[in-house]
Structure 1
């Protein structure tokens, strides 16, 4: 039975996808909910998914907890919101008694609104750190020393003068601790000169290497483009090993790993803007579902690691300064703090419509990439 599952990842796709998305969405929305409740804002609904309600109940605080028909997200709806995107219902606010307005989202103090909105993405980052901490505590981390044991002929490393036996010390002045540090750094810098500091025969040398944009396939046959310099290490000479962590050490390492995901994401966005990488690597729900099914064949720990990566990605996506996303709301609050009053009803309405159009366009583009990737 297990062989059948691992040989056919599509069998695991839907349950793995729902598990990952459910966890990330629940934690994100719970961040909004907890800080909103703490701030004294009345919460009308906590929904996993969008669309018609499938099942739910109302708690003693008047909050409707529900599971909705489309499990691709979720929302917390506050008192005074017009919709699930927390668009202010200006007409309804006019009819709410002055004594009740403090319980609405728009009636709350600016810092309370900002804290409530920021709590969702922050919860995503915390989730990633918690997951990675658990993995590092239970299984440690596989590392190897940054020693070059193979230089591929014709590679960027060979052109730069890298030799077998070189010990890699730094990249653009940043200290290298493991071989994976090198792989991570150059992968998002195709075509960008990198100063590689090495130790060779007791001497320290600075070499200029330019990673080549290279299309590779992962173990599932998925294509991706990365910056490659063409060096390898080996099990024995590279001292490949598993490093164990104390609880504190695991938290520190998990935080560093989460930060690496954040910086890697920004590097990728920068490469898209400058044209060094193609946008066809942007994926939507279909690709996330496909990847979830594939990773699930590697085991539950691998699926948890994917959840951590996606949690960070979703947290960053929500912080984009686009109206309807959390980052758009925070941008509005920054403007309000600067002006001393919120943007007008018309301006906010136009901004939310533009933001919705941008988000929908991105979703359509990502879904198109998913479909063409499957067909290709």
Structure 2
């Protein structure tokens, strides 16, 4: 499958799952409180496929425009209702029932995230250890005295096991703190406390990769350029390369590490490379032509070899984290809650101008992240799905007319004033909600296009 189609399929699967789960939440609770459902649609516009099922003859449809979906219920405000269906009309239900139906969509998204995180925590995930690479010069990490190869044990007094643990705690603390203590241990088993200034993250409006802005990066071990596994039907196999070969040079340029060799291969798709090798104590020359492959829309070279030290390096860099079912469930709920509140906090800071609007992502960026996570493996793809599900749940609860949160706001007003919101007020609210959504979409598409051209 081509790179574009792969990314498109990964995005379509994420979107399809999230839409179905969200709308199914509305559907189930609507049926539970006694509302008649006329249509369950994935997508908007003209149905491409539909089928009527159930005692009520609910139409299940897949429509032409895929960015969303809806559940159409019997409602006197949207058309004439048969006399026998009036008791099952949505607008005639008690306000509490209407609140439950509307809130069920976002609730289903949060529940999906909890289930996904629970499965991951219980099954176990393999993640990068919080091993630090050499800090970027003149960065906050360099000023803190962090060194290449140090392992982070604690962030602000809290233990961390993985790179993501460390990243998440730093982001949370950076919201309202300037200095954060990192407890680290080096290769000599010496434990130190490094005080990291995280204020540059806020000063930049949270634009871009926060850890990169602080000068933090993953540790990359310097491995010798020795071939391990040779893939079958690869450029390396065709050229006669063997496991155990050591690369001394490429096109007359000396090679000091595996990273040097990989950089040259990646930037040479379709270009013959003259390799100076050491095999069984003898020097020899072999020419290999890297195959051109697509990676995130960019053509790179690949020959199909793994570094011989890969297994040992992998064990040194990775850690498997898993928990029992009850602990995993607790962690899943906490993870979902913390990410939900953090998302809401960032939206609030975006409104006040403390966070850059460039952080808003549209479908192009989401599709890119979906494809990247899918290529990294199922664990990463599931984490991405859970995170987007949380974002969708939070977004839909915002008190913007036309979103679920806007309807919940109407019902709250109805409870307070002991009467429904007027039709005129709802019409004005719908127009305001549409304008806000179009503005949000415009920002998202602008940011997508800007990322495509600026990288």
Say yes or no: TM over 0.5.
Answer: yes
- Residues 48 and 74 in structure 1, CA contact (< 8 A), matched pair in contact too: yes
Instruction: Choose the corresponding residue for 2:399, options 321, 324, 327.
Output: 321
Partner of 1:22: 16
Q: Does 1:111 align with 2:96?
A: yes
Structure (1 or 2) with the larger CA radius of gyration? 2
CA distance in 2, matches of 1:80, 1:191: 44
Shift of 1:307: 1.2
CA distance in 2, matches of 1:297, 1:166: 27
Partner of 1:332: 410
Q: Does 1:58 align with 2:52?
A: yes
- Residues 147 and 167 in structure 1, CA contact (< 8 A), matched pair in contact too: yes
CA distance in 2, matches of 1:13, 1:232: 26
Cα distance change on mapping 1:225 and 1:100 into 2, 3 Å = same
Instruction: Choose the corresponding residue for 2:27, options 20, 25, 33.
Output: 33
Instruction: Choose the corresponding residue for 2:68, options 52, 57, 73.
Output: 73
- Residues 191 and 210 in structure 1, CA contact (< 8 A), matched pair in contact too: no
Cα distance change on mapping 1:17 and 1:211 into 2, 3 Å = same
Instruction: Choose the corresponding residue for 1:44, options 35, 38, 41.
Output: 38
CA distance in 2, matches of 1:185, 1:270: 20
Instruction: Choose the corresponding residue for 1:212, options 170, 194, 200.
Output: 200
TM-score normalised over the length of structure 2: 0.67
- Residues 38 and 59 in structure 2, CA contact (< 8 A), matched pair in contact too: yes
SS of aligned partner of 1:71:
strand
- Residues 127 and 308 in structure 1, CA contact (< 8 A), matched pair in contact too: yes
- Residues 173 and 180 in structure 2, CA contact (< 8 A), matched pair in contact too: no
Larger RCO (CA within 8 A; separation ≥ 6): 1
Shift of 1:160: 5.5
Cα distance change on mapping 1:191 and 1:27 into 2, 3 Å = closer
CA distance in 2, matches of 1:283, 1:345: 34
Instruction: Choose the corresponding residue for 1:295, options 356, 373, 378.
Output: 373
SS of aligned partner of 1:41:
coil
SS of aligned partner of 1:142:
strand
TM-score normalised over the length of structure 1: 0.79
Partner of 2:340: 262
- Residues 78 and 104 in structure 1, CA contact (< 8 A), matched pair in contact too: yes
SS of aligned partner of 2:201:
strand
CA distance in 1, matches of 2:127, 2:435: 43
SS of aligned partner of 1:67:
strand
CA distance in 1, matches of 2:3, 2:333: 31
Aligned length: 350
- Residues 46 and 63 in structure 1, CA contact (< 8 A), matched pair in contact too: yes
Shift of 1:158: 5.0
Cα distance change on mapping 1:334 and 1:340 into 2, 3 Å = same
Pairwise CA RMSD of aligned residues?
3.5
Q: Does 1:120 align with 2:105?
A: yes
Q: What are the ranges of 5 or more consecutive residues in structure 1 without an aligned counterpart?
A: 82-87, 217-222
SS of aligned partner of 1:212:
helix
SS of aligned partner of 1:50:
strand
- Residues 191 and 276 in structure 1, CA contact (< 8 A), matched pair in contact too: no
CA distance in 1, matches of 2:51, 2:27: 16
CA distance in 2, matches of 1:289, 1:153: 33
Q: Does 1:184 align with 2:178?
A: no
